[in-house]
Structure 1
């Protein structure tokens, strides 16, 4: 009897081990903060490893107090003119502390990007924030906070997109009712008409938060609604137009997402492809009735002669999904809904399973469905890659104000998703460069268990909002064969990116990846 029970226990243990292995192969979730106090509409990871969280200011009181004796008195606020609660915060992964930050003007549906010194430049918003420029110079302690500049944008911008450029300035593209681009800092430049924005401005304004990608030829790929162009930011001229992508509108409020696929030193950083995934049925925003979302992705090589869209089918329909470049050079598609559109109460059928997109597999074999989150993340949610390799997921507020009852309530919890590459045998830097000069060689030392192949992959820290990570890029650097250095360590000879067109100056996460296992990143300054 005892032997039979032991056999049953052994079978059960094997079954549990099989389930655990399966879950680990699909990733796993953990809630790291039960109540961050604010709903995270915008987020960005600083080079100190902490994360700036932002919501709108005219939402009424949040659940995070500013601190003793600190209040925001703003006669232009539409909801609460005397407000002692925070609408921005600094989250520290690991300790999971949340520190309130003070932001004065409304950051609702604004844009941003880090500059070459790691300072977050934040632009536009609604109402009193429409033309504002804000700076956040990150720190490791408690002394840093938002600074609102006296000078502002040349045109008010709500739902615009930013991209840092090789000269260190940022181009700010579009916005509601705005068909121009401008630069921050302007450095004497004005605003410039972009015909693509007028062309794509349909009845529900599906050209908001355009997808903007800096290409290694020093020009910009801009996508809005279903159309796209190549733009020369130095001459402010359109170089070429591209075919219309098949299917549904892809930008806000129809809310697909987009990434520039990783650039590789193995191809001299000339392997240029853009992917756009998801979106909503046309009219779903104007007439919310839960219409099914798009189930397609389009992929284009914008610098190729005769460039056109190659279409693929996702495992689920999805809009409001975030596309995050992972250190393994794969793409995580996370968050979103299966129907409706962005806007108050327009989302239906939350999609809780992330999907892994493997761009180097053959067409038809590129998608892998991962473990579902227990939490719905739809309108006004975010996802950011952390230096430890996890993905921070926050936000979701489908209501005009904070609403904690009924379907799809305002979400204040912060989760961390661990992708399948975070196994037991994680590599680690024994020595990493602190900075990289363009074109210069360097050596890194990586501790890894019997590594056959070690990659050094450089990942930017984007500004994430409304299903688009502004300024996101990944570079697979040159990496020689690992040379044993004793003690389980290997030296790897590598080389910095060749130019600011390939990697604009600033702080990046440098990840060691040994035989597919991802280690902790080292922050390096490129420039």
Structure 2
């Protein structure tokens, strides 16, 4: 290059690039000389366009990356150098009209693949880029290469600009208008004879024979779904999200789609950014981040799924608010309270209230706290006397992440199956509750491996009593962090036979399906929830009868899971005589793979309804590793867990300290009440279980999460708490009754006597049956809530037992009467007997069957 360069400062990119040409260069070693050398070889531009105008020299104040003694422009500013010689070099391609191969004026391509044709020259960037999808530039770009990219993605339009930039779409957007054909004068970078647009000009090709150009898009303010209202263009700080939940829809995002998705999951603010991004949150998020609304014109990017309307812009959100109450989360004056109950001697991971009203705790044995025996029993009535409250018990193998359930035999034995590794995973352990409150019991856990063992080793299995009284064991892994065991088996195992059934759907969803949720349905068939899926199994063959819709996950991640390790919790909702309505199941919390964003909703469905769907109900806070407790009044207590992470050692943080009550009888959107908070983080291996007096026992926490210096961030937790629910904290006296007969047959009538209501009458009295449960890892095995029919005459009330084993699988229940909202202290009743004759099993050394 000869002749001296001239330097000027000009504004750039206010309405488009000021210096337009087929090539540009960037790099960490940029200097004025290297830029001029590049332009010698490639032709950088021929004119100042798009409103480029002189600017004060001081605006070009950024030093060159390769020479700090030189200036290389500034924000939206160019240092421009003009060649004043007469021997302008020819570029290596592109450039038409400004150098290049002397082939004359480039023309539109004609050798096009069928059915593509030329669609004209169009003005670009008058109101924004008119090609919806930018594919970028390439040095060998031709009309054919651009068409190939667009056709591969299913687009019907292809446009080329600046010789090498390709755009795709089904329409032109942002008020595109035809241009004078001669202004598409730049040869393609890969074929100088073909016209590939020009400065602010797009050569357009179509596969349909027509080019549809849409007007300049506007924010959608009418025909909005539900109670949504447009609020304006919201500034978002660079690198920081003002609404927390991001959804990426590169091809189909629209204002309506975004609003509908946010509302479906209970969010009251929806924002759209960069065209393809949808965000869900609440107006309070915007207030918390000091959000600022600006002129609507600053949001100017069309929605890919609705190019007539705006979906924000760079760091600008087209924003909508829900005008109304979507989540009526109650904050009652009477919330109940957490109370410290008793110092602990164990870090339990399995908690079970026995039919003797005492609580058995199991913990890791051999891999847990030093010198533990792995088992203790707590006498609630002796909590005031620490020396007597706890009774040491013993297990032989490690119950770490085993499954438990209470049997329907006449003793109400507890069975524990599976465990940590090796022979522990085959473990079958039995405990017979005995003794009375106030006097230490004497029985201990019974175990004899290998005389009695599972057929398959299992870690993280679920146990359930089927409608025929046999014991179902499902799922797990073969040992600590080992291969899956995607099968079920039955106990008692027949002599010489096998009851193992392979389950391909558990194999497919490993490892996110441990501790699957199992509920016996009124048909006596079996509901199974695992990962984010659910199905119904035949009660005899265990073949799939119905595959249910997937359980919705998070608003921005449909793959959020509900079973361990993504760990939510599940319980069946109450059944009411005459039991004509299908049983509903409630699943709350969980997490998302990888990011560990805890799920902030519950889903509820009736699996045996004609067309079952999952209803989504947003919780007041996110929660992974929750515990759920079925309460005597039909409500469900939700407590424990964390706001972030997943189940496992050190994998969760930010404990959720606040209890929430779910009332299934209130309307959707009004079912949650925010209750009291604790100071004790209850993270991994924490439990909650209903006591016979109506309180909730809260125990455990074994997160093993340490600070950088090695000290515990969330310590292993020995303390035992109780939650006093609102129905007990308002000062009312609990009703009383006597239960002459504890063994009930299906459909028969039984009397309770000496019924004493202190506040109301039998007209507002209720009776509930709460199934005996064993709780671990958010899985409340055996949960059931039944409100039977009854009739009172004075102080005697006749109760009709549930009609069959579909309404109430055989087993033990706590019987409560409720004086208005206030429950009695429960008494235990067995319903349905022992049809599998478990009372005679196992007839092996080391075991003491209670008999029939």
Both proteins in one fold, TM over 0.5: yes
Q: Deviations over 1:15-43 (max 9, x none)?
A: xxxxxxx9981011211112x21101001
Equivalent residue number for residue 786 of structure 2? 475
Q: Deviations over 1:258-285 (max 9, x none)?
A: 11111111434x431111111112114x
**Partner SS for 1:267:** coil
Equivalent residue number for residue 260 of structure 1? 572
Tell whether the 8 Å contact from 1:458 to 1:510 is kept in structure 2 after alignment.
yes
Q: Measure, in 2, the Cα distance between the counterparts of 1:432 and 1:364.
A: 42
Equivalent residue number for residue 303 of structure 1? 608
Q: Measure, in 2, the Cα distance between the counterparts of 1:392 and 1:463.
A: 13
Instruction: Judge which range, 431-440 or 116-125, deviates more.
Output: 431-440
Equivalent residue number for residue 775 of structure 2? 464
Question: Offset at 1:376?
Answer: 0.9
What is the TM-score of this pair, normalised by structure 2?
A: 0.53
Q: Measure, in 1, the Cα distance between the counterparts of 2:799 and 2:751.
A: 6
Q: 1:146 aligns with which of 445, 463, 486?
A: 445
Q: Gapped runs of 5+ residues in structure 2?
A: 1-330, 384-388, 478-483, 554-559, 833-852
Q: 1:118-267 residue pairs with structure 2 within 5 A?
A: 118-127=412-421, 128-140=423-435, 141-149=440-448, 150-176=451-477, 177-187=484-494, 188-201=497-510, 205-247=511-553, 248-267=560-579
Mapped pair 1:318 → 2:623: yes
Q: Deviations over 1:328-387 (max 9, x none)?
A: 001111111100111111111111111100111100000001011121111000111010
Equivalent residue number for residue 51 of structure 2? none
Question: Offset at 1:431?
Answer: 4.5
What is the TM-score of this pair, normalised by structure 1?
A: 0.85
Tell whether the 8 Å contact from 1:166 to 1:505 is kept in structure 2 after alignment.
yes
Q: Measure, in 2, the Cα distance between the counterparts of 1:60 and 1:199.
A: 32
Q: Measure, in 2, the Cα distance between the counterparts of 1:515 and 1:464.
A: 28
Q: Measure, in 2, the Cα distance between the counterparts of 1:411 and 1:431.
A: 38
Question: Offset at 1:174?
Answer: 0.5
Q: 1:39-54 residue pairs with structure 2 within 5 A?
A: 39-54=347-362
Tell whether the 8 Å contact from 1:59 to 1:400 is kept in structure 2 after alignment.
no
Q: 1:157 to 1:431 in 2, by over 3 A?
A: closer
Identify the structure with bigger relative contact order (alpha carbons < 8 Å, sequence gap 6+).
Answer: 1
Tell whether the 8 Å contact from 2:695 to 2:724 is kept in structure 1 after alignment.
yes
Mapped pair 1:372 → 2:677: yes
Q: Aligned pair count?
A: 467
**Partner SS for 2:677:** coil
Q: Measure, in 1, the Cα distance between the counterparts of 2:443 and 2:656.
A: 36
Q: Measure, in 1, the Cα distance between the counterparts of 2:582 and 2:757.
A: 29
Q: Measure, in 2, the Cα distance between the counterparts of 1:46 and 1:262.
A: 22
Tell whether the 8 Å contact from 1:457 to 1:476 is kept in structure 2 after alignment.
yes
Instruction: Judge which range, 102-111 or 493-502, deviates more.
Output: 493-502
Equivalent residue number for residue 725 of structure 2? 419
Equivalent residue number for residue 255 of structure 2? none
Q: 1:325-336 residue pairs with structure 2 within 5 A?
A: 325-336=630-641
Mapped pair 1:93 → 2:93: no
| Larger CA Rg, structure 1 vs 2 | 2
Q: Deviations over 1:413-461 (max 9, x none)?
A: 1111111111422111145532212111122232102323111111112
Question: Offset at 1:493?
Answer: 2.3
Q: Measure, in 1, the Cα distance between the counterparts of 2:519 and 2:638.
A: 18
Question: Offset at 1:230?
Answer: 0.1
Equivalent residue number for residue 656 of structure 2? 351
Q: Measure, in 1, the Cα distance between the counterparts of 2:374 and 2:454.
A: 22
Q: 1:350 to 1:316 in 2, by over 3 A?
A: same
Tell whether the 8 Å contact from 2:332 to 2:674 is kept in structure 1 after alignment.
no
Q: Measure, in 1, the Cα distance between the counterparts of 2:710 and 2:639.
A: 23
Q: Measure, in 1, the Cα distance between the counterparts of 2:822 and 2:333.
A: 13
Q: Deviations over 1:306-346 (max 9, x none)?
A: 21111110001001101111000011111111001111111
Equivalent residue number for residue 89 of structure 2? none
Q: Measure, in 1, the Cα distance between the counterparts of 2:594 and 2:354.
A: 38
Tell whether the 8 Å contact from 1:133 to 1:153 is kept in structure 2 after alignment.
yes
Mapped pair 1:497 → 2:802: yes
Tell whether the 8 Å contact from 1:356 to 1:368 is kept in structure 2 after alignment.
yes
Tell whether the 8 Å contact from 2:705 to 2:714 is kept in structure 1 after alignment.
no
Q: Deviations over 1:109-150 (max 9, x none)?
A: 000111112111110001131111111111124311011132
Instruction: Judge which range, 442-451 or 170-179, deviates more.
Output: 442-451
Q: Measure, in 1, the Cα distance between the counterparts of 2:526 and 2:812.
A: 21
Q: Measure, in 2, the Cα distance between the counterparts of 1:210 and 1:138.
A: 27
Q: Measure, in 2, the Cα distance between the counterparts of 1:301 and 1:468.
A: 19
Q: Measure, in 1, the Cα distance between the counterparts of 2:801 and 2:749.
A: 6
Instruction: Judge which range, 366-375 or 491-500, deviates more.
Output: 491-500
Instruction: Judge which range, 433-442 or 333-342, deviates more.
Output: 433-442
Q: Let me know the Cα RMSD of the aligned residues.
A: 1.9
Q: 1:404 to 1:377 in 2, by over 3 A?
A: farther
Q: 1:60 to 1:523 in 2, by over 3 A?
A: closer
Instruction: Judge which range, 51-60 or 221-230, deviates more.
Output: 51-60
Q: Measure, in 2, the Cα distance between the counterparts of 1:366 and 1:199.
A: 35
Moved over 3 A (4+): 430-433
Instruction: Judge which range, 38-47 or 192-201, deviates more.
Output: 192-201
Q: 1:434 aligns with which of 723, 742, 747?
A: 742
